[in-house]
Each structure stands twice: as C-alpha cells, then as structure tokens.
Chain A
Amino acid sequence: MRKKTFAAALLVAAASITLSACGSGESGSSPVSVVSGNTSKEAATVLDQPFAKPDLVLTDTHGRKFDLRKETAGRPTLIYFGYTHCPDECPLTMSNIAVAKKALPQAERDKLRVVFVTTDPQRDTPAELGKWLDGIDPQFIGLTGDFAAIQKAARSVGISVEPTTKDRNGKLVSVHGTQVVAFSPKTDGGYLLYGEETTADDYTRDLPKIVKGETP
C-alpha cells in the first residue's frame, strides 16, 4: 500500500520533469523528494527511486518478438519513445547517443542496448524503423507494436505520449517523448533521465558511467 503511494508521487514528480524539459516553464513545485544531484551543469536527472523497466513485449526491426525485460536484463539500456517522421528531436536524440556510443571501447559498445520505441506504430513498421535506425546506428533496437501497450510502458517511466492524429490539412501528427531513460546494468532500474537539451558531448561524458551502472 505504501509502495503504491510512493509510486504515484514518483509519477507526479516525473511528470513535472517532463513538462520542464519542453520549456513550458512554470511548475515551481520541484520534486525534491525524488530527484537529487540535478544541478544545471549535469545533463542527467538522477532518480533516488528508480523506475522499473517496462514489462513490454513488441516486435523488433527484423519482425521478431522482443521481450524488453528479458532481452536487456543485466545490460546498460537507454530507452527513448519517438517516431521516424520526426525531423528534429528524434533523429537528434538518437544521433547524439550514436556519437557518444562510438567513443566507448568496443566491448562496452556491444553491451549497451539502445532501444527506440515508436509512438507511431501505424507508420513505423519493422521495415521502416529498421531503415531509419540503420541510418543512425545499426546496433540500435527499434520496437513497434500495439500503441496502447507502448503508451502504458511510456507512462510507467513518467513519459507521456499520445496516439497519432490528423490535423486540419489531413497531415498525420505524432508525439514523441521528451526524455531518454537510462537503466542500470546492475539493478535494471531506470535511474537517470536525460531531457531534450542533452548534447552529444553530455552523453559522451556520461555513457562510460552508465555502462558500469554508476551515477555520472
């Protein structure tokens, strides 16, 4: 029971982080009880109470079933929710991580799991996702499938996404998450959040720590 309350508090806190990440200002209520060590110089927001890795089974870019918890157990893992028809933030975020990953020694590169979960499964088929991710880093994992399952998984780590809709001109409008969640290889807990302003240099600085499950 107590645990539940705490989880709820954590979600609220994460929600307010999400909001501030997209610069909608306000939200003077800083989640002091959950977040620590986040100064303006640090790219990472460190969660005192890590998120559980989402229990999510989807389809990967090869059309195979992919059980997130099973496949990434004991691996340093970065998860981002986005879509390929996104010209700005999604490719920038994934490219930043790709650049940082290149700076790791080969053995650590192979351990790292970078997972891109689509928020636009209608358009992002396994083949489309695969083509797009190959242009960034062929080792990255792309997942697609049931939107409701994706949305639920995103919510479980404090990320809000909505289904693709049509605008007045009939153009499809999708929504991406505003954060990358880093999961520790030691605990499998999501212990770090990275907002949209995080640069390739920030990831390059932090990835060597993340692959060891350390706090940057």
Chain B
Amino acid sequence: MRRAATAAAVTAAALACATLAGCGTSGSGGGRAELSVSAAYMPQPVSDTMAAGFLTITNKGDARDELTSVTSDAAGDVTLHETAGGTMKQAERLTVPAHGRLVFRSGGGHLMFEGLKRRPRQGQTVAVTLHFAASGPVTVEVPVRSATYTPTTGH
C-alpha cells in the first residue's frame, strides 16, 4: 500500500517535471535547441466559440528554448494554458528544456483557441504556428479528432 503510494507520487513528480518544464533545464553549453512537434490533435469543439489543442514539443538539442506565442489562421487568438486542480491559468511563455519536452495534454495544459473563424470538424486539420524565443517558427497541421479522443486509446 505504502509502496504503491510512493510509486504514484514519484510518477506524478516525473510527469510534473516533463510537463511543467524548467525542471533540469539550463546546463546548455552554448548548443542550440532542436525542436520537433508530435502528438498534435484538437478535439472537435462543442461550440464555435472556443477549442482546445494538444501537442508535444520535443527538444533534442543542448540548449533550452521558450514557446513565446502561438498563431493560427483558424482562430483570432491562441493562448497557452496550464491547468492545476481544476483551475486554468494562462501562461505568457513556457520553457522547452534541453533534451526535454513541453507537453500539452488533456488535464494538464492546452492551447486555447478563441475567436474561431469556423467550427473545426472531425477529419479537418487546423494550421497552427508555434513561435519560439530562439528557434524559428514551426507550423503544424493539427488534425481535428472526435470530442472524446484520447491519445492513449486512440479514439
């Protein structure tokens, strides 16, 4: 029982580390960030007013970088959000640690799309451009999945 609890706590800590960024960053010996984006999806939103997007930014480089803003032709405004205990908090910029990841996943953090120009439907894609402090912008075609899609079950 105790061991299970401890293991869970350790796992949680590890996840928090991966998600929250900043843990074990720095250490950059003058290298540069090498960014890639994976696991991107947008659950089909309920309304035409807002949507959430999820993705993972992986940094294989020796230097950290920062996600400073996100733009999309589908939305008037895209903001970065972290969720903790049911409360959503907007973040100005988020760190992508060297040899680490910045993860937006359901229940953790998300990209919030507001001022939608159209309601994204399952099967479509939404073009999203990520802007960084050091690296050049990265544009991703984010697939719109079902409203109940989860990466773990895949549907």
Contacts and interface: CB of A to CB of B under 8 A. Distances in A.
B90 A169 contact: yes
A87 B147 CA distance: 11
Interface in B70-119: 81, 83-90, 106-108, 110, 112-113
The number of chain B residues touching the other chain, given as a range, is 35 or more
A119 B109 CA distance: 20
B133 interface: no
Interface in B1-25: 1-2, 5-6, 8-9, 12-13, 15-16
B106 A88 contact: yes
Interface of B is mostly: mixed
Given A22-B107, A95-B147, A89 B83 contact: yes
Contacts of B107: 22-23, 88-89, 196-197
A14 B153 CA distance: 28
B86 A91 contact: no
Interface string A3-36: 0000000000000000100111110101000000
B110 A87 contact: yes
Contacts of B50: 85, 87
Contact of A24 (B1, B84, B147): B84
Nearest to A28: B5
A24 B45 contact: no
A95 B84 contact: no
Given A92-B106, A95-B147, A135 B46 contact: yes
Given A88-B106, A95-B147, A199-B153, A131 B9 contact: no
B52 interface: yes
B67 to A, nearest CB: 18
B148 A178 contact: no
Given A88-B52, A89-B106, A91-B45, A19 B85 contact: yes
Contact of A92 (B15, B43, B47, B87): B43
Nearest to A201: B153
A147 interface: no
A71 interface: no
Given A25-B13, A91-B43, A136-B147, 9 more contacts: A19-B85, A22-B85, A86-B88, A87-B113, A88-B83, A91-B147, A92-B148, A173-B88, A201-B153
Interface of A: 19, 22-26, 28, 30, 84-89, 91-92, 94-96, 99, 131-132, 135-136, 160-162, 167, 169, 171, 173-178, 196-197, 199-201
7 contacts: A23-B15, A87-B52, A88-B107, A89-B86, A95-B43, A132-B47, A167-B89
